[in-house]
Structures are given as C-alpha cells and as structure tokens.
A and B are shown apart, each in its own frame.
Chain A
C-alpha cells in the first residue's frame, strides 16, 4: 500500500497505531449495504488486539470480513464504522502425523485444502460458498454434505483463538482432539457471524483422504420416495458420508449418496445402496455440482433444519408455500442430516419471502431462518430468525463479550 492510499485522519492514525494498515471505506466494502468509514487489515493477532481495543475506545462498530464471500449472510449490521479484514492473519501449522492443523483466519480455505491434500489429508468441510477464508467459514458456521458422517464444522474444531471487543485475546481448546479442559468457547464463535469476537486462528481435526469414492444417484418421483430411500440407506449399514437431496425449481428431484472408504469394500457397499434406490447409477468419481447451494448467487436463501424423518414434508411445504406466493423454490441439502436450503428468486419481495418462511415455520419442528437475502432485500423488514429458544442466555453471553455492542451489532439472531 502506498502512502497516498493510506488515510491520515486522527481516527485512522489511532486505529493504525498497533500496526494495522488502515484506509477509508468505499462502496465496494459495503456489508449488506452499510459502507464502513474505515477498512483496516491487521498483520497479526497483536495488531488485531490493538485495533479492536482502539475501536472500543473510539466507540466504533466493527464488522469482520475475510474474503467477503458471506458478507450477505445474516442481517445488516446496525452500524459499520470499521471493517476489519482478516486476510493478513495467515499462517498454517500442519501436524500431519497427528491429523491436526492450525490455520490463521485469513487463510483461503482452498489453499489450506490444497496443502493438506498434498499430505493425503483434508479438512472435511465442503464449502457451500466458494472462495472463502478459514475464519469466514468458521464465523459463518456452514457445513456441507459430508457433515452427515463427519459432523458439522463445529465438531471438527478443536481449538480457537478469538479477540474480544475490548482487544483481549483468549484461546480455548487446544491442539489435541481429545480434550475436556475448560469451556469450549470455540463453539460460541462458530456461526456467530463475528458478533462475539474476531476469530484469529482455529485448530481443526483432519481426516485422511479416502482411498475410494462412489456416488450413487437416482431420480425420485416425489419427496416421500426420497425420504424412504434416505431412511433405507441410513439403515443399510453402508455408512454413507453424505445423502443429498437436490430439487431444482424446474427439474426432477434427485438423491445422491456418497460413499468413502477402502477400495476393497466399496463396490459391495455401493451395491447395497443402489439396491434400495430404484434406477440408481453408480459413479466412481466425486459427484459433479456437489454440495453447492440451490439457486443463484443473488437468490434469497432459507435454511430449514428439521428432524431427519421430516425432510420430505419440509421440502414439499416450502415448494408449496412458495408456489402460493407465486414464486418457485429450488431446494437442496443434506437429507441425511436434516438440513436443507431453499432458494427463492432474487426478484422475490420481502412479503412473499416472509410468508414462505412463516408458513414452513408454523408447520415443521425445527428452525427456518432467512440465512441470506437477495441484495434488494438487504435492508428489508423481515423476521429472519423466527423464535430463538435461549435468546436471553445468548444476550447475556453477548453482553459479557461485547458489553458496548460494537461487534457487528444487529447482524445476529434476535437482533444481537
């Protein structure tokens, strides 16, 4: 960065004292339509601590960004004075023999996976949104298809360092998988959209790359058939890594099952799965178009988490509710884990979106949230979260970690 790009106002100087590179915000930096006054990039955790402590002193609301691929998730922050970029918080320590890696928040996830793959390992996180950073993935807390077997992202995190609103850095967990010392604060930061602190690094457990893969796919006549297959596959003893449902707005519903394992055993397992799905095809490679969110990049996305026996009902409900509002919904996600996404067209107004969410909410056990809105709805008056059990405890946690409400205020559940 050259001198003339650097801002030299007293506020910017104060923010840069700890070593962060500070510049003025531009419309390109907007978070859900909020243009920050300043953008700062701390080079390390110490600088990030100084930066947040300064922001706290100066009463500046801070929003954290990695590569910005999920800046449209969550509600728009009520204030965004400072955008903190994590991209310089890098550094990867891979303990291959221990199947553990520690990565700086700014590390691009794809780079990390490439490094791990070279050692025959992976972080079992299928990125639903491509191009993100490690910290962004953790703060967004999304898990892809293989969560079915290997658990959601939060189950793969074994340690974390995060900086509180007042600039104090605190670690929890550690660098070993088995560890019950102290509170697991990493759970709180995972999926918190940066409202409890700045994640500077996370430590993950890894898995060896599987020797063999098989994908078994078939078209289902209706969601109930897909549900029946899912139940049969889960009960077959074949131990799938993923069971995905994909129901595009204009096409037939399909179910795809991913198996991972030893070369010597995988074909027998694939036959077991194919036997319970009519007209199934078996493919040797990884599935194409795997683990992506339904719909287009600008569509509004509902996240629907239900008991696994209710997936068909939820998929049908959201389609029908959308149709009643005159829009088409594309549905996809983990039938095995009971977590679906429904894409409503970017052109859909707040009213139909709200009506679809409300209709599904009232009919299913679980939760329906408006996870991401189309750009046009960023500032819309929408009930994004529905009922949030435990909200008072969540507020109590927020108040202790961020007493002045300066970390992405309003971006999270219940207006936190």
Chain B
C-alpha cells in the first residue's frame, strides 16, 4: 500500500467507523471489478459511508491529500467505470439505501444513491406510480449508479433515459463540498449542471441524494412477438411501425444465433425456424394501446411475419420476454467466451450495419456474432462469440468487436448507447470526437475537478490507457449466476 494512503486510513476510520473501512486484502479484492470483469484492479482502500456528511468528509480528505477516489454503486456497470484505483479510495454507496420520501402529490421520489432501481418502483407502486428507467440489472443496480451512467433500459425508446427523470441532486463535489442542483421543481435557474452531471460517470462528483420523477403506471400494456424468416423482414417491420407514427414502449430484436442460444438456455419456445424475432410492447391509455396494437400487428404481418403471438397479461408477457432477457447469459451455453458490445446506429442504417457485421464475422475464422438489440433506437448489443482456448481467437474477437464500433461511427452512430465509456471505451473516444471536442469536455471536467482526483482515467482518453483491449467476458456474470440480476 502506498504511503499516503496508509496514512489516510485512521482518518477514514474516524469518518466512516471501523466497519465502514475495508483494508483487508481479500475483502478489498471482492471490489476489484464491476460487471466488466476483464478490467480488474484491487482498490487501495474501500470505504462504505452511510451519510452525505461521511461522503463529503472522505472526499475532502482525498482532496487535501491528493489521493484519487472512485465512486461505486452496486458494481453492475459494463464499461469498467467503477474500476478501482490501486492507490486510491473506493467510495461504495451500498450502505446509503434509504428511500427518503415518496411524494405522490408532487410525483417525486427522493432516494439515497445506494437504493436499487427497482426498489423505487416497488415503493411507488402502491400509489399507482413507477420509476421509468429500467436498466436490465434493475433488481440490483443502484440509482446512484444510474445517475453516473445515465442508464436507459428496454423502455427508454418511449420514456427516455435517467437524465429525463431526475429533477434534483445533492452532490459531493471532488473538492468535498455539498451542493444541491435542482429539486422537486423543474428548471432550476442557472446552467443546467444537473443535466450535465447525469451520465458523467462519477468524474464530477458523487450524488448523495436523488430526486426523481414518478410516472403514473400505464392503464394497459400489450406485447407482441413476431417471427420472421429474415432479419431484413423484421427490420422492415420496425421501420413500418415507426413510420406509421406508432411509438412503442419497447422494440427488441434477436437474430437466429441468439434465439438458438436462448432456446438452449431457457427453452423460451420461440416459433421454430425464425431467422429473427421482434418483440413490440405498447403501453398507455387502454383505448390508445388497442388502436396502436392492431396497427402494429398488421404491419408485422405485412412485413412477412409468419407467426404473431400476443400477450395481454403479466404472465404471457413474461413468456415473450423470457428469451430476450436471457440472451446475454444464454450465449455462454453456445460459446466458451464472448464480448458484449454496445453501439448505436441510426435506425435506418440497421439493415446495412447488420449485413456488414455478418461479413466481419464470416471473414474472421471461428468468430460468430449473435445480434440482440433495441431495434427502435438502433442500439446494438452484438455478442462476439469465440473459443478462448484457441490461439489467436480472443484477438480476432476483439478485432471484430472493435470493427463493429467502427461501423457504428461510420454510419453516424455512437460507441455507446447505454453502457458508458468508462475505461473500456476511453480509447475509442477520439474516433467519435475531435481533439477540440475532447479538450472542451476536459475543460468542463476540470471545472468540477481541478485536481483530477475523481474517477481519474475514465471517460476521456489518456495516453496510459490506450492500447488495451475491450472487455472479454467468460461464462456468466456472477450476479446473474446467483439470480440477483438479469442482463439483456
């Protein structure tokens, strides 16, 4: 342990108590990575504060001594945004998990950062409300982590991302000051620091109290699953639905290989022979949903769907979603190792990009790509499958994965739709942004963190970082294995 850090420990114990500071090597190692396990680094010390005051005192201590710190929520992130610093403090918010208030009259919830995403909806549900952002890890991922990553979810096509649902934050700045941005009211005066803070990946501070909008639970939800012979046919159904002015809550698509994996893993019983399945979910006022649902069904049939199944209750809906929700974990059944990619293309470029991905896969021997994606907003999650016992396979897989991102950029898209940049994609940022863009982003960062101690080496490229490979996952994520999380 580095000298300055060991000197800090007694003071950290004074702030967080003995049970709030972890120095033991083995216990520290349990925090060595987030959901992207390829990147790992044992944190210098781990603190588990229970209050805003403790977070502020820890960060002030870091600021005084120049020790870097890394914030961490539930550790479900997929870009190594919570990768610890080996000479730094890992600030874990998991003990700050109080729902401060469910304010029905003002349609807001106030929560601490360690509260799990789904707990907000559970607390609001008895009043007929819910919290809209629903990242796939919502059973365990923390609201604080959602703030850092600007998390989306399957339903963000209609309801938007975390940033569209946060109206107030209490933050601890990288200098250890407690600042309130916004509140229960909209449109706080001054620059929209609240909006810029959401999605800043822990580089601008730590959110210690969060005020979010609650939405009224929809009157009706209807889901359809349509099977097509080809991806092109499925894609044209998506285009037809969107062009008809229908805005579904979710539009998801899977290709033959991901269907095969899902069948192997969870026997989801999708229509045999499907080259693509499309899941379309509509929600809202009952009369509106019924009108739009009939139209969406007809458009699927016109685009060549050979089978359309519909779900009108929660149990039927769960059956339709089963294969889709299991897809990430399921590829572990058909491949020893895989990389999950997260890229975005304009929706109209999907058919072309999917063809190019197939060509990339065909050109790299032994590398298969399963495509699972949020078709409504062009957010691809290609799963690059390979056998890591085969010499050179992981390099070829990483190359295919990287070229998929190049395709996204080439088509005017993004290198990440929801997983974030973190460490994993910091080196790809210059492919999407000019040096002037990046320098301006760094200026903004330095306004909050002049000394560069808040989650350093994340989000923006640094010379030390670049050259590393994107994350490779083996088997199943530990949280998925223990049934605590789903990934899709």
A-side residues, CB < 8 A to B, are: 95, 97-100, 120, 141, 151-152, 154-155, 164, 168-172, 174-185, 187-188, 190-192, 196, 207-211, 231, 234-235, 237-239, 261-269, 272, 303, 305-310, 337-339, 365-367, 369, 385-386, 388-394, 396-397, 399-401, 412-414, 416
Contacts and interface: CB of A to CB of B under 8 A. Distances in A.
B186 A155 contact: no
B474 to A, nearest CB: 25
A303 B106 contact: no
Contact of A231 (B105, B191, B200, B291): B105
A-B complex: 5 closest residue pairs judged by Cβ atoms: A265-B287, A264-B291, A366-B185, A187-B195, A208-B245
Given A152-B187, A175-B412, A390-B193, A400 B444 contact: yes
B185 A182 contact: no
Nearest to A238: B285
B190 A385 contact: yes
Q: By CB atoms of chain A within 10 A, which of B164, B186, B242, B295 has the most?
A: B186
B184 A266 contact: no
5 contacts: A176-B413, A188-B196, A262-B295, A365-B183, A396-B447
Contacts of B418: 178, 180
B189 A266 contact: no
B183 A176 contact: no
The range of chain B's interface size is 35 or more
Interface of B: 103, 105-108, 128, 149-150, 152, 156, 160-161, 163-164, 173, 179-181, 183-193, 195-196, 199-200, 216, 218-219, 239, 242-243, 245, 247, 284-292, 295, 344-348, 374, 377-379, 412-421, 425, 429, 432-434, 436-441, 443-448, 459-460
Contacts of B161: 178, 180
A365 B183 CA distance: 9
Contacts of A392: 179
Given A264-B290, A305-B188, 14 more contacts: A171-B434, A176-B417, A178-B418, A182-B421, A182-B441, A262-B288, A262-B292, A268-B286, A338-B185, A366-B183, A388-B190, A390-B180, A399-B447, A412-B190
Q: By CB atoms of chain B within 10 A, which of A97, A182, A235, A262 has the most?
A: A182
A390 B197 CA distance: 12
A400 B447 contact: yes
Contact of A177 (B284, B377, B429): B377
Nearest to B344: A176
B186 A338 contact: yes
B106 A307 contact: yes
Given A100-B346, A182-B459, A400-B443, A237 B416 contact: no
B444 A390 contact: no
B289 A152 contact: no
B414 A178 contact: yes
B193 A178 contact: no
Contacts of B160: 151, 155
A211 to B, nearest CB: 6
A235 B104 CA distance: 10
A391 B190 CA distance: 7
A181 B432 CA distance: 9
A390 B179 contact: yes
Contacts of B247: 207-208
B265 to A, nearest CB: 26
Given A264-B287, A399-B447, A308 B188 contact: no
Contact of B417 (A152, A179, A365, A397): A179
Contacts of A309: 103, 105-106
A168 B180 contact: no
B49 to A, nearest CB: 22
Given A305-B186, A394-B193, A178 B374 contact: yes
A211 B323 CA distance: 34
A98 B290 CA distance: 25
B348 A98 contact: yes
